[in-house]
Amino acid sequence: MAQIFPAYANTVARAAILGAAALGCLGLGLLIALPATSHVTRQDIIVEQPVQFSHEHHVGGLGIDCRYCHTSVEQSRFAGIPPTHTCMTCHSQLWTNAEILAPVRRSLAEGVPLRWQRVHVLPDYVYFDHSVHVTNGVGCSSCHGAINRMPQVRQVAPLTMGWCLSCHRDPAPNLRPESEIFNMDWKPPSDQAERGPKLLEHYGIRSAHLTDCSRCHR
């Protein structure tokens, strides 16, 4: 019988099958492992920024209020990212020659906004609203962690549907009074089991429909 394939073809084929099998296992392994890893949820990734802005210094150290920079957090869906002139209210007098601030001065001089990269990103098909949360007893740190101790912002919570729902099913244990919304160190007090339901009533939260699909997918 005439040999159609050269002898080495067998070896090649075997290698290919072995390779495919190995890749298959790897693929399957990844499919199983990935959804559970923080890589998929973007947790704890450090995002490169045009200027290394430190919340640890500005919030933790200097005590600047979140709303000084994230001006629309109580009024709109979006917290907002500060424009260059917000930085320059201080940095036109402070650290005026610092190399680290050169991109900020250039942005002001050229009138081109700094291109801050997003750290938290929900898919487009999810509806989220900051104001609804922060005016109804949910503080920043419940979702963003201790921002006042972060030299660079990291995503602390998984931001998965399961995570949103775990609070929406039973918000009371996470609710705080108005005065604590911007307190990054707030922890539920020991009598939260009594305070929670009272806060639920105080804010007039009707938790019955908080898990309806249309709340977050509209």
Name residues contacting ligand HEC, limited to 98-127 (CB under 6 A): 100-101, 104, 116, 118-123, 126-127
Q: What's the alpha-carbon Rg for the chain, to the nearest Å?
A: 25
Distance (Å, whole) CA 133 – CA 195? 18
Using CB under 6 A as the binding criterion, the count of chain residues that bind ligand HEC stands at: 75
Tokens of 141: 């740190």
On the 0-12 / 13-18 / 19+ scale of CB atoms within 10 A, 51 is middle
Q: Is 217 among the residues that bind ligand HEC (CB under 6 A)?
A: yes
Residue number with CB closer to ligand HEC (6 or 162): 162
Task: Give the other-Cβ count within 10 Å of 39's Cβ.
Answer: 11
Q: Is 168 among the residues that bind ligand HEC (CB under 6 A)?
A: yes
Q: Which of residues 78-97 bind ligand HEC (CB under 6 A)?
A: 78-82, 86-87, 89-91, 94-95
- Among 37, 75, 92, 211, which residue sits at the site for ligand HEC (rule: CB under 6 A)? 211
Residue number with CB closer to ligand HEC (49 or 192): 49
CB of 75 to ligand HEC, least distance (A): 11
Task: Give the other-Cβ count within 10 Å of 95's Cβ.
Answer: 12
Tokens of 59: 């919030």
Tokens of 125: 């098909």
Residue number with CB closer to ligand HEC (2 or 213): 213
